Chain A
Amino acid sequence: MKKVININFQGRVIPIEETAFETLKQYIESLRRYFANEEGKDEIINDIENRIAELFTEQLKKGDSCVTDAHVEGIIASMGRPEDFGEVEMEPTQSQKQYSQEQTYTTYTSASEAPRGALHRNDNDKILGGVCSGLAHYLRVDPTIVRILFALITLGGFGAGVLLYIILWIILPAASLTTNLKKRLFRNPEGKIIGGVCSGIAAYFNIGVWIPRLIFSLPLVLGMVTGIFHNVFNHDFDPFPNILFSGFGGTLFIAYIILWIVIPEAVTASDKLEMRGEKVDLESIKASVQGELQGVRGRAEKMGEDFKVKAQAWGEEFKNTAQAKAQSLAADAGPAARRVGSGIGHAIGVLFKAFFLFVAGIVVFALLIALMAIIFSGAAVFPLKNFLLEGFWQNFFAWGALCLFLGVPVIAGITWLVRRISGAKSSNKYLGYAFGSLWLIGLVCFILLIGSIRRSFDTRARIKDDITVVQPPTGKLTVKVADSKVKYYGGWFRGGGILTIDEDSLILNNVRLRIIKSDDSLYHSYSIRYSYGNNPAIAERNAGRIVYQIHQSDSTIYLDRGFTVSEDTRFRNQRVVVTIAVPVGKRILIDRSVDRRLSWDEINVGPRDYYYEDDDNENSSWWQSDVEYIMTPGGLERVDKDRENSNNDEDRQRVQEENQQKNEKKYKYKKDSLETKPEKKDSVKPVKTVAREEEQKNENEESENSKSGKASTSFLSPFQQLLAIGN
């Protein structure tokens, strides 16, 4: 079944099959291109079209209802394709241009055996100046190869290629050269995904199109796979993997862009034939025509030597006609001229296209990687799930969201990639529908999950406990965080107020310390435990289950390292706020361990913010660790405040010292997290790991203490200096 269309062809209405019309159109286009440099090309084309129209009419008169593919093929065969009459036809044109004895000789030999002649720039086939094309003609290779080499020289040699090209452009004379190759590398517009490069390469080497595609996309796929493993095993998320830019992949990416620019697109039918070498169904026609020509040519070549002289005279006569002039005019009007203009435009266009494609590719790729990362980090958060999700439905929704909402796009993406590479053209819309609906289900699950979890954080409860404080005799209170028996490590959840996760318990250090002014002359302290829940009762129960100890020894208050949330309590953003009231005129020192070991991060999942609704919140003062403060009627003040102005040098020295300490501490902190290696070589190495850790810990603490001690002596030192002077 074929569609028949009516065309107006040379003033006749011809019913013709659509496919036949396409063939015909391409054929006439190829003729038009072939005769582009010919004077009176319109007339030639017109004559040929006329003849074809006549043949069509004859065909229709015979009783056929329309012109078919077979008719058109037959007519094209009898008229001959440009490739077929190329050898006979183009040579007069050449001989008209080339006068020398040697060059005239090319007229009498077949093109493929033609001597190379002089090195020219090729006017007929050029992107910039036709240098590459001329060079290729001289070397008898595909211009594309020369262009690629030039591009590589330019890229690798810091512009040496450009210089070379310009020199050659200036030196070499221009000439209209006809191709001396049977097969050329083209980009194939019929089988393209991006630029048709892979498809063209496949056609040139006569291999399956998936081979070059696989090669070009291999680094992408490999990168993706290694990226996943990288994510899973190293927990190290890199949203822009170095796939596109580094090593093999980058080279291929650049290579593709270069090929895109350099390789011409197979536009006309003859281009497409050249791309594949020769078409099989033309083979027989060619063979028969050429076989007969061969005999004549054989004889003609024998008489060539003698005949040449006379033919030359004959050629002279032709040359004197208007044709010589027309040649130069035709060069301007022909597609050669069009190519000059479009060459640079094409390169720029491709660069732009490549750029946008590159950006789009990066975006898509980043999205894909992000999705993967979410899935795999989801797997890593897996243990947390038990503390967050409640009941069957939440778990169900969580799994649904994970598999469908996140998994489906990834699978769809991979499917799409595979189908594109394998060149599957069949648009299976059910596949799209299936993916789409699954994803929608996933989306619904996700929304329900979010809603459900949100409901678990609906109400908040707070429990206030007073803590009795033994008044310190020195008038100075120090706050520290106690050492825990077990050392926690693992960078994943440290930041979020979550210290660590066990099989059945979650340890949070979501604790905040507030300093306020005491109403009387005594130190006071109280802690408030907060938790969320589905309803007030559950929230209160959750808050009640927080066990956070505060104890005092002498003038030091020790805070717990964190508090435990058991699996059946679940994570409901529990937190503790410890408030210490300092009377006016008394001092407080907050150890650095408070800053370091308790989390300051606020997870505001609840409908309202925590602290601002606390009525006594406005009284609380901002503090800095490791700085001694004194409570004044206006709030906390640094003890060393006065000295800042009076003793600048000393102060500067102290600041320097402090900075140094900070750096040292940072360094130590880092080392803390590397739990296995002993910190110092000369430290004693106990047998048990835990014991060693503890010892290390103590050592750290000691050094810290000594440092804070040093800090305090350093700002006491002015007094000592005064004493020293007094002495």
Chain B
Amino acid sequence: MRKGVLEFCILSIIKRGEVYPSDIIDEMKKANLHILEGTLYPLLTRLKNSELLTYRWVESSSGPPRKYFSLTDKGAEFYGDLQSTWDELANAVHAITQNGQSTSSNNFNQ
């Protein structure tokens, strides 16, 4: 899980609607992307501090009030940029790997 990719994934989950951090974990786990909660919180704080995210407190029946995160306008904009960058990259990688099938499969197995 390298930088950028993780943020990209998280932002795309949050983009779908208000979300609670442990839901993000669950969702990523479903997609077979295991991250630690301890990694997630600082990331969210960082994104929030760069005004890409915002949150609101929601009373919870099971414990202390929860923070629900949602995307800001700036965040949405940034997400758009990220999306296009990713698409470019994915296309580039796809193009390369499709051209040199045999070598790339070896690399993947490493």
Contact = CB atoms under 8 A, between A and B. Distances in A.
Contacts of A618: none
B62 A78 contact: no
A48 B108 contact: no
B62 A293 contact: no
Interface stretch (A81-89, A199-207, A655-663): A81-89
Contacts of A302: 107-108
Interface string A45-60: 0011011011111100
A383 to B, nearest CB: 78
Contacts of B88: 310
A79 interface: yes
A51 B20 CA distance: 10
A674 interface: no
B8 to A, nearest CB: 10
Contact of B39 (A88, A108, A303, A306): A88
Contact of B3 (A58, A78, A95, A299): A95
Interface stretch (A34-42, A664-672, A677-685): A34-42
A11 interface: yes
A56 to B, nearest CB: 8
A92 B4 CA distance: 9
A327 to B, nearest CB: 12
Contacts of A43: 45
A505 interface: no
A284 to B, nearest CB: 14
B54 to A, nearest CB: 13
Given A35-B42, A50-B64, A306 B92 contact: yes
Given A48-B41, A54-B63, A89-B39, A292 B34 contact: yes
Q: How large is the interface on A (under 10, 10 to 19, 20 to 34, 35 or more residues)?
A: 35 or more
Given A48-B41, A298-B108, A311-B3, A293 B63 contact: no
Interface stretch (A227-235, A314-322, A427-435): A314-322
Contacts of B6: 88
A314 B82 contact: yes
Contacts of A317: 78
Given A79-B36, A85-B36, A307-B89, A92 B3 contact: yes
Contacts of A85: 36, 38-39
Nearest to A40: B45
Given A40-B45, A314-B82, A323-B46, A54 B92 contact: no
Interface string B41-59: 1111110111000000000
B35 to A, nearest CB: 8
A297 B1 contact: yes
A114 B10 CA distance: 27
A310 B50 contact: no
Contacts of B39: 80, 85, 88-89
A556 interface: no
Contact of B50 (A35, A48, A321): A321
Interface string A422-453: 00000000000000000000000000000000
Nearest to B92: A306
Nearest to B60: A54
Contacts of A706: none
Nearest to B34: A292
Contacts of A58: 62-63
A84 B1 CA distance: 13
A289 interface: yes
A51 B64 CA distance: 8
B66 interface: yes
Contacts of B44: 47
B37 A12 contact: no
Contact of A299 (B41, B45, B108): B108
Interface string A89-127: 101100100000000000110000000000000000000
Interface in B1-48: 1-6, 21-22, 32-39, 41-46, 48
- Pick the most buried of A12, A53, A298, A310: most chain B CB atoms within 10 A of its CB: A310
Nearest to A61: B62
B50 A323 contact: yes
A724 interface: no
A51 B22 contact: yes
A38 B42 contact: yes
Contact of A297 (B2, B67, B82): B2
Nearest to A300: B2
A318 B93 contact: no
A44 interface: yes
Contact of B63 (A12, A79, A311): A12
A512 to B, nearest CB: 91
Nearest to A58: B62
B110 interface: yes
A91 B43 CA distance: 12
B21 A47 contact: yes
Contacts of A35: 42
A10 interface: yes
Contacts of B78: 317
Interface in A284-310: 289, 292-293, 296-300, 302-303, 306-307, 310
A588 interface: no
A39 B49 contact: yes
Contacts of A40: 45-46, 48-49
A46 B46 CA distance: 14
A31 interface: yes
A296 B48 CA distance: 26
B85 interface: yes
Contact of A84 (B36, B50, B66, B92): B36
B50 A303 contact: no
A10 B93 CA distance: 47
A306 B1 contact: no
Contact of A10 (B4, B41, B64): B64
A51 B34 contact: no
Nearest to B39: A85
B1 A293 contact: yes
A53 B42 contact: no
A150 to B, nearest CB: 35
- Pick the most buried of B42, B46, B50: most chain A CB atoms within 10 A of its CB: B42
A222 to B, nearest CB: 51
Contact of A50 (B49, B50, B67, B93): B67
Interface of B: 1-6, 21-22, 32-39, 41-46, 48-50, 60, 62-64, 66-67, 78, 82, 85, 88-89, 92-93, 107-108, 110
What are the nearest 4 A-B pairs in CB distance?
A80-B36, A54-B63, A57-B63, A80-B38
Interface of A: 10-12, 31, 35, 38-40, 43-44, 47-48, 50-51, 53-58, 61, 78-82, 84-85, 88-89, 91-92, 95, 107-108, 289, 292-293, 296-300, 302-303, 306-307, 310-311, 313-314, 317-318, 321-323
23 contacts: A39-B46, A40-B49, A47-B44, A47-B67, A48-B37, A55-B63, A56-B63, A57-B64, A79-B37, A79-B38, A82-B38, A88-B39, A92-B46, A292-B32, A296-B2, A298-B108, A300-B1, A306-B93, A307-B89, A310-B89, A313-B85, A317-B78, A321-B50
Given A92-B3, A296-B1, A299-B108, 20 more contacts: A11-B64, A40-B45, A40-B49, A44-B42, A47-B21, A47-B41, A50-B63, A54-B62, A61-B62, A79-B36, A80-B36, A80-B38, A80-B39, A95-B3, A289-B36, A292-B34, A314-B4, A314-B85, A323-B49, A323-B50
